[in-house]
Amino acid sequence: MTDLLVSVRDDSEFDIAVAAGVAIIDFKEPSRGALAAVEPAIWQSAAKRLPHLHANDAPHRTRPLLSAALGEPEDWQAVIRRLPDAFQFAKIGPSGIDTAREMKRLWGEAALHLGATTELVAVAYADFEAAHCLSPAEIFQLAGQSGFRRCLVDTFTKDGRSTTDHLSYAGLRELGEIASQASMRWAMAGSLRLEIVDDLETQGILPDCYAVRGDVCQHDRAGNLSPLRLQQWVDRVSLPSRKR
């Protein structure tokens, strides 16, 4: 079954995502870039409130997992120690990292600061030239060699172009194959729309998780979360894939 990750920026959006039954709720501040962190107080509030919210709003559903964006290589150290242990996932953008040695060093340093219950997710950027970093295939391969269990491909530049505008179907299939061979789950983000999911399924490209922000918001990724658009995504991702 395909998971749905939805990025939220505050308590009110978190409440909406819990009520909708989103599988993975991710925290990031969309006005400050691809993977900018929210204020740590928002993480702490979510960790504290989730058991109560879930019991009241969605007791028949599996409790959502929590994820946090920690920023880019120059950002994460300022916030990582304040991430609650209740968060299952954390991710750091790879911008500016163009060698395997630097990438492995970043991952190793970040992992030292995460609690035993929080898993670091390897992130690649589809528009890697703009991010001045390793390509998605290089990062996925390195993540597999380094023992990662999850990886994500996203876009660094938020200009409305999607991951599919930067990577061909063949390139996306390659990422899926790399992930499968390394027993990793892979997620796809980057200005996704529902019609892109349909196109990917037609091509036999089946990420383990879709990660969205802009298409579940009013107007764009900087707007407020739309309960209606969010429910459309929840319903769509819950359907069996035509190619599975």
Query: Which two three-digit tokens encode residue 174?
Result: 């390659």
pLDDT score, position 1:
80
Confidence of residue 113 (pLDDT cuts 50, 70, 90): very high
pLDDT score, position 240:
81
Catalytic residue (choose from 28, 48, 158, 243) = 28
Catalytic residue (choose from 48, 91, 158, 243) = 91
Confidence of residue 244 (pLDDT cuts 50, 70, 90): very low
Tens-place pLDDT, residues 128-149: 999 999 999 999 999 999 999 9
pLDDT score, position 61:
72
Give 186's contacts (C-beta < 8 A, 6+ positions apart). Answer: 140, 150, 151, 152, 153, 175, 176, 179, 207, 208, 209
Domain 3-238 fold: TIM Barrel (3.20.20)
Q: Can you tell me the mean pLDDT for 90-117?
A: 98
Average pLDDT value over all residues in the chain: 95
Query: Which two three-digit tokens encode residue 3?
Result: 């998971």
Q: Can you tell me the mean pLDDT for 16-29?
A: 96
pLDDT score, position 222:
81
Q: Can you tell me the mean pLDDT for 218-232?
A: 91
pLDDT score, position 24:
98
Q: Measure the CA–CA gap between 6 and 216, rounded to whole angstroms.
A: 8
91 is catalytic: yes
Confidence of residue 239 (pLDDT cuts 50, 70, 90): confident
The H or E element that residue 217 is part of is: none
pLDDT score, position 59:
64
Calculate the dihedral angle through the C-alpha atoms of 11, 116, 187, 6, rounding to the nearest 10 degrees. Answer: -10
Confidence of residue 47 (pLDDT cuts 50, 70, 90): very high
